[in-house]
Amino acid sequence: MSRDDNRGDAARRWRLVLGRYAGDTLGQDALDARDRELDLSLDYLYGREYDGKVRRGGGGRGAGLDPSQVRALDWLERSRKLFPREVFERVQAHALDRYGIRELLDDPATLRALEPNQALARTLLQMRGRMNAATLDAVRDVIRKVVEDITRRLRGDFVDALHGRRNRFRRSVLKSSQNFDWRATIRANLKHYDPQRQRLLIEQPHFNARVRRQLPWDVILCVDQSGSMLDSVMYSAIVAGILSSLPAVRVRLVVFDTNVVDLTHMAHDPVQVLLTVQLGGGTDIGRALAYCERLVQSPQRTVLALVSDFMEGAAPGPLLASVRRLAEARVKLLGLAALDQDALPVYDQAMAQRLADLGMQVAALTPTHFAQWLAETMA
């Protein structure tokens, strides 16, 4: 690195350390687009302390210095994506303990007034350990609304994929709106069209039958609950809830970091699952799969889906040995590097390849594509 490069990097670092008030001295050119996002995020938090000292000293804030205001919870979500996990955890602690943002999180009325969405749910799940008892009820309400919204969007995909597709060549006596065949209904009733009123009179509606699949399968969801897997944990809990409601599918839900926790007894309730998981900690995938091995009763009718970034924190030997035994027993092994709407995974590709070489199918999928993959695996 040249001397000019060293100077430029030093100016960049000092500019981020000193904040917006050093802009005139060090220059705005020291920051690229990502650095400016970092600067805005840091200024939203640490600028509060400087501004407070200025006000206490009798000074005032200069006109034109304020960046666009970012709501506290939006700021937390943005910062989570900008900083490495260890840095974000430190910044988050400062936000709560030193700069008054805790007031937002301790007000149930404020939380209930916010728009329930995945970003808010994600932030609240990370922060719930720092909230008071009254706020936790509001958090539960927000999480429930988000879970119900996602479940409504996903449930049809899983039902169609796992419980049976519509058969358009056989008519059904079960007159359900879900099975209504509008094309066949229009064709069969065209002779009843009233040109004066411009209406089609329906004498005989048509409905599709459903192809019933008998699924004598056990589905074991083994979910990494380390801090980087929050989105996948959320969707895994919802998928477990949907699968639990389907006939002839027995679901087991296991979450892990360095410890293994069996949440099968609450798999039907995604909200309770999300409020139970302890995000963070290390990762021992081998220990988790060894536990899941003991749950297998009918190997050839068992699907084990490992939802993880495959970043094994323990020695890899036990993990590889467990996958080898499960594959030899003819358990269907699926490895999901991501399980959310974006399916943008960050995972250990070398470990994923080693698992694939032993017989695990590995992919990064949205929940909808996971439903299709699961159905194909069980076919």
Delimit the CATH 3.40.50.410 region(s) of the chain.
Answer: 217-378
pTM beyond 0.85: the answer is no
pLDDT at position 58, please? 45
Q: What percent of the chain has pLDDT over 70?
A: 69
In the chain, alpha helices (H): 3-18, 23-26, 33-56, 72-82, 85-97, 102-105, 108-113, 118-127, 133-158, 182-189, 230-244, 270-276, 285-295, 316-328, 349-357, 367-378
The pLDDT assigned to 16 comes to 65
Q: Are 299 and 331 in contact (CB under 8 A)?
A: yes
Q: What's the CA gap between 183 and 205, in Å, rounded?
A: 10
**Whether the predicted pLDDT of 24 surpasses 60:** no
CATH number of 217-378: 3.40.50.410
**What percent of the chain is predicted at pLDDT more than 90?**
35
Q: Which long-range contacts (CB under 8 A, 24 or more apart) does 180-185 make?
A: 180/205, 180/206, 180/207, 180/208, 181/206, 181/207, 181/208
- What was the pLDDT predicted at 20? 63
Question: Taking Cα atoms as reference points, which of 122, 148, 372 lies closest to residue 238?
Answer: 148
**Most confident segment among 150-159, 178-187, 280-289, 350-359:** 350-359
pLDDT exceeds 80 at position 67:
no
Burial of 221 (C-beta count, 10 Å sphere; 0-12/13-18/19+): buried
Q: Using CA of residue 47, residue 49, residue 52, residue 53, what is the dihedral sign? A: negative
Torsion over CA: 154, 253, 332, 361 (sign): positive
Q: Is the pLDDT of residue 141 over 70?
A: yes
- Closest C-alpha among 134, 97, 81, 91 to residue 112: 134
Helix, strand or coil for residue 367? helix
With beta carbons less than 8 A apart as the criterion, state whether 228 and 309 touch: yes
Query: How many residues appear in the chain?
Result: 379
Report the C-alpha gap between 277 and 3 in whole angstroms.
Answer: 49
Give the residue among 278, 247, 260 at the shortest CA–CA distance from 125: 278
Strands 193-194 and 199-200: antiparallel
Is residue 53 over pLDDT 60?
A: no
Query: Minimal CA–CA distance to 277: which of 241, 346, 209, 229?
Result: 229
Q: Which of 68-72, 73-77, 116-120, 358-362 has the lowest mean pLDDT?
A: 68-72
Confirm if 200 and 193 have CB atoms less than 8 A apart: yes
Nearest Cα to Cα of residue 249 among 163, 157, 366, 339? 163
Q: Amino acid letter at 269?
A: D
Strand partners, 208: 171
What pLDDT does 65 receive? 29
Residue predicted with more confidence, 341 or 366 = 366
